[in-house]
Amino acid sequence: MLMVVRAAARSFACWICLATVAGSLMLLAGCSDSSFDPRHSNPWFQAVGGSSANDVYALGSSTIWHYDGRRWAPEGNISDPFLNGVWAPASNDAYIVWSSPDGGLTGKVYHFDGRAWSVVASAPAALQSAWGTSGRDVYAVGREGWILHYDGSAWSAFTTGRHEWLQGIWGSSPQDVFVAGPQDSILHYDGARWTRQYTGAPSLALWGSSSHDVFAVGGPSITHYDGVSWSPQASGTTNNLFGIWGSAPNDVFAVGASGTILHYDGTGWSAQASGTTGHLYGVWGSSKYDVFAVGQEVILRYDGTRWSPPITVHPTALAPSRTGSARRLTAP
């Protein structure tokens, strides 16, 4: 059983941004350096998610972009990097997790209520991902083993008691939640307690169709949970994988370094042409005919047959960082 800790945990040093996992695995999701300013470099999108085909967020650096079903536009920005994860169950109910630019010594959870973004929770370590089953059951996970939970009235926080980086989260119900990190184990919550499941491979992102059909990606590895144990699957790539999402057990996408996109049809994984050589960090869709992938300067969309030419996002498209909550902007 995991240990509850009330005191602030010590943060990882910045060098943990580089972890040797299955070769050289670069955890770009939370590499924070106080000397780095994304406003003076090429922008990237770290995560993508939404509530429908007409309500999609892409985020990373310090800026939030929003898709309304017709076009993408900068919605607003949150002071200082980095925006790492998004979960949006409704158009007036979205969560984004943030890490500070000082090596990730602080993490925050931002919430959008249909009008504005505001901070609703914080942690003494960078937060990497958000997910939930409803507006009364929301999680945020991050470094130093921190897990935050919202029950509809208040946020509570606890840590695993280990200096571990928790990166991805997914579940099939409030009694079936999985949390991944770049080590060889995954945490599982059954509604009463957390236990550790050993996978034998790193994991940065999770997705599943049910409690007995869960995928995890990390490094070039893909592992699958059948409700009893985790087993490796042949990915067919040597590139690092950063994100995964699916619409069904036989329709799953994984994205990664150098424009890698893999598709699972229920029997095996095959590569798809992405049209970019930039790293892809996140993937999400509203259906099998409407899937988005995001990464270095690009946003891609899949229509069920092929990936569209990447939408290139230039540094000049980024609004300057400012202090305060970000409000939804009207597209020009």
Q: In the structure, what pLDDT confidence band is assigned to residue 60 with cuts at 50, 70 and 90? A: confident
pTM across the whole model:
0.84
Q: Is 50 exceeded by the pLDDT of residue 33?
A: no
d(CA 268, CA 38) in angstroms, rounded, equals 38
Q: How many CA atoms lie within 13 A of 155 on its CB side?
A: 17
DSSP class of residue 15 equals: G
Q: What is the pLDDT of residues 277-301, one digit of tens each?
A: 999 999 999 999 999 999 988 999 9
Q: In the structure, what pLDDT confidence band is assigned to residue 36 with cuts at 50, 70 and 90? A: very low
Residues whose CB falls within 8 Å of the CB of residue 251, separated by 6 or more in sequence, listed in order: 263, 264, 265, 266, 288
Q: Average pLDDT for residues 53-58, to the nearest whole number?
A: 96
- The 3 state secondary structure assigned to 249-305 is CCEEEEEEHHHCEEEECCCCEEEECCCCCCCEEEEEEEECCEEEEEEECEEEEECCC
Are 193 and 175 contacting, i.e. CB atoms less than 8 angstroms apart? no
Report if residue 300 sits inside a domain.
Answer: yes
Q: Average pLDDT for residues 139-147, to the nearest whole number?
A: 97
d(CA 116, CA 111) in angstroms, rounded, equals 8
Q: What is the pLDDT of residues 70-129, one digit of tens each?
A: 988 888 667 666 899 999 999 999 999 999 988 899 999 999 999 999 999 999 999 999
Q: What is the pLDDT of residue 79?
A: 66
Q: What is the pLDDT of residue 25?
A: 35
At 111, is the secondary structure helix, strand, or coil?
strand
CA nearest neighbour of 62 among 40, 88, 93: 40
pLDDT mean across residues, the chain: 83
Q: What is the pLDDT of residue 314?
A: 60
Q: What is the pLDDT of residue 103?
A: 86
Q: 13-17, 19-23, 162-166, 201-205: which has the minimum mean pLDDT? A: 13-17
d(CA 320, CA 79) in angstroms, rounded, equals 9
Report if residue 2 sits inside a domain.
Answer: no
Report if residue 328 sits inside a domain.
Answer: no
Q: What is the pLDDT of residue 327?
A: 40
Report if residue 48 sits inside a domain.
Answer: yes
Report if residue 9 sits inside a domain.
Answer: no
Q: Is 60 exceeded by the pLDDT of residue 263?
A: yes
Give residue 222's domain range: 14-317
Residue 189: alpha-carbon gap to chain centroid = 19
Report if residue 167 sits inside a domain.
Answer: yes
Token representation of residue 24: 């050289």
Q: In the structure, what pLDDT confidence band is assigned to residue 231 with cuts at 50, 70 and 90? A: very high
Tell me the CATH number at 169: 2.130.10.10
Look at the chain and report how many structural domains it folds into.
Answer: 1
At 303, is the secondary structure helix, strand, or coil?
coil
DSSP class of residue 28 equals: T
Percentage, residues of the chain above pLDDT 90: 71
Report if residue 101 sits inside a domain.
Answer: yes
Report if residue 114 sits inside a domain.
Answer: yes
CA nearest neighbour of 114 among 27, 51, 193: 51
Positive or negative: CA dihedral 248, 200, 230, 18: negative
Residue 269: alpha-carbon gap to chain centroid = 21
DSSP class of residue 219 equals: B
Q: Is 60 exceeded by the pLDDT of residue 172?
A: yes
Query: Is the pLDDT higher at 260 or at 44?
Result: 260
